[in-house]
Structure 1
Amino acid sequence: MKHAVARLRDARMARRQEPFIARGSRAPRCPDCRVIFSHCLCALHPQVATQAGMCLIMCDTEPLKPSNTGWLIADVVQDTFAYAWARTEADPDLLRLLADPQWQPYVVFPGEFVAPERVVAEVSPSPGKKPLFILLDATWPEARKMFRKSPYLDKLPVLSLQPDQLSRYRLRRSTREDHLCTSEVAALCLGLAGEPHAADTLEAYLDVFTDHYLKAKQALPLDLDDALHQRLRSLAEVGAAVPG
């Protein structure tokens, strides 16, 4: 069964009047990992059992972009939900998820843009609840607009992250070096939720995805035994050995 981001992409593609062509490449891509077939990484796809869930609210074209890293989160974290953002209305399924008593939602957003009383720095859900991290998957200007114009998020606590490293994401440029890509943010959230193995696996998966993506773009061969691939395989083996 396809995960939530793949289903959202299919729905978005069905509404298009013409095929979506990724910028800079017309080569056929694997529909599952979004890299050209010669550099496909589907055989390296990890999945880790987690208590935490991820809710991606995605800007209109994000599910279509091969460089989107929200897709990687859905590959790794089974309880990943994905919804298209719209300025005028909220998806009813999203509203039902946010009201589901099994989850404690946290909107992940910089605290400097939020009233101080809403900001939290730790993940401490109420008894019987699991953390659900709400990530606005968009460019930074788009994410700020989404945050301001989504009133259904206004009463939720805002988790403000304090990363101690700069982004390693190399597939798109940001105007600020301290901005992290969506999967890096998700990895930090998993670490705060007490799930370091899931966090490390997602980080390693991003590194391998980036390696395959860039080498495909540059027509360079892969080294499936380099340190990046060995680290991901090692983490995936540990995850497979842990009961779900």
Structure 2
Amino acid sequence: MKPRAVPHAVSRLRTARLARSTKPFLARGGPRGERCAGCRLVPSHCLCAVRPVMAVRAGVCLLMADTEPLKPSNTGWLIADVVADTFAFGWARTEVDPALLALLADPQWQPYLVFPGEFVAAERVVAEVLHCKPPERKRPLFVLLDATWPEARKMFRKSPYLNHLPVLSLQGDQLSRYRLRRSKRLVGEQSHFCTSEVAALCLELAGETHAAQTLEAYLDVFTHHYLQAKQQLPVDTECAAHRRLRGLRSAFGSHAGSIGA
């Protein structure tokens, strides 16, 4: 399937990161390592035809550890597929992208740094997204540290430009369905939430229930395609994950449209 005409933020960050590499990044799988430019999967298991297109008021800012944009299993890519206003920046200890600082200072956004509250001073921690009436209402911008848990803790400690942001501490009570990488991530060392699951919880708090459910279903479909490819098995478009994603699209009509059939 053809990728979308305009690459999203994570795709652009991946391209920039590859351009800086001194040696090629080789992901396993596919003939000669061939992968779809639109979804990073092997062509036989391409996901592009079911990529959701959503109208979402909230935004997501991904601050990504060095190699995260290169990994085919990274789920920040899925967030950028679903949430149009997704921004992605590479993290470095010694420098910060001026565009990131400008985004955090943009008056249309209310940024929330998503991180476990037990590691933060109590006065910074919030458990809810502020809901104000127009014209005062700002759009929520969820800042996610897209990294392994040790990397995320380092990023949190060594990013002083984030110190002024309120910290949104999530209390997810569901078990993670993410089965591709079992690193300890973001919402506590025992929770095993991946980045797209964290984003779905944030969208739910922001009142974007349909977008949250769609992102959850899209993750399940992506996981199915990825694992079927890894096991050299065909995609089952009638599996529970595909049926759920189709049901969400049908229930909301064109609001949950997608690229492709």
Normalised to the residue count of structure 1, the TM-score between the two structures is: 0.96
CA displacement at 1:23 relative to structure 2: 4.8
Instruction: Note if contact 1:119-1:157 (Cα within 8 Å) is conserved in structure 2.
Output: yes
CA contact under 8 A between 1:48 and 1:239: conserved in structure 2?
A: no
Decide which of 170, 174, 195 is 2:183's aligned counterpart. Answer: 174
CA distance in 1, matches of 2:252, 2:33: 33
Structure 1 residue 44 and structure 2 residue 50: aligned?
yes
The number of residues matched between the two structures is: 244
The amino acid of 1:13's aligned partner reads L
**2:144 aligned residue:** 135
2:27 matched to 1:22? yes
- State the SS of the aligned residue for 2:33: coil
Distance change (3 Å), C-alpha of 1:44 and 1:17: same
> How far is 1:243 from its partner?
9.3
Distance 2:143 2:165 in 1: 10
Aligned-residue RMSD, C-alpha: 1.6
The answer to whether residue 10 in structure 2 is matched with residue 11 in structure 1 is: no
Give the ranges of 4+ consecutive aligned residues of structure 1 lying more than 2 Å apart after TM superposition: 23-27, 125-128, 174-177, 236-244
Residue 210 of structure 2 aligns with which residue? 197
Q: 1:94 aligns with which of 100, 116, 124?
A: 100
AA of the residue aligned to 2:194:
C
Distance 2:35 2:256 in 1: 33
Identity score, percent: 71
Deviation of 1:241 after TM superposition, in Å, equals 2.3
User: Aligned pair 1:165/2:178, yes or no?
Assistant: no
Tell me, which stretches of 5 or more residues in structure 1 are unaligned? none
State the distance in 1 between where 2:256 and 2:29 align: 42
Structure 2 counterpart of 1:215: 228
Counterparts of 2:172 and 2:214, CA distance in 1: 17
For the residues of structure 2 that align with 1:2 and 1:166, how far apart are their CA atoms?
32
Is the CA contact 2:65–2:147 (under 8 Å) kept in the aligned structure 1? yes
Structure 2 letter corresponding to 1:162: Q
Give the distance between the partners of 2:79 and 2:98, measured in 1 at CA.
23
Q: TM-score, normalised by structure 2?
A: 0.90
Q: What CA distance in whole angstroms lies between the structure 2 residues aligned with 1:165 and 1:211?
A: 19
Return the offset for 1:198.
Answer: 0.2
Contact 1:49–1:239, Cα closer than 8 Å, also in 2 = no
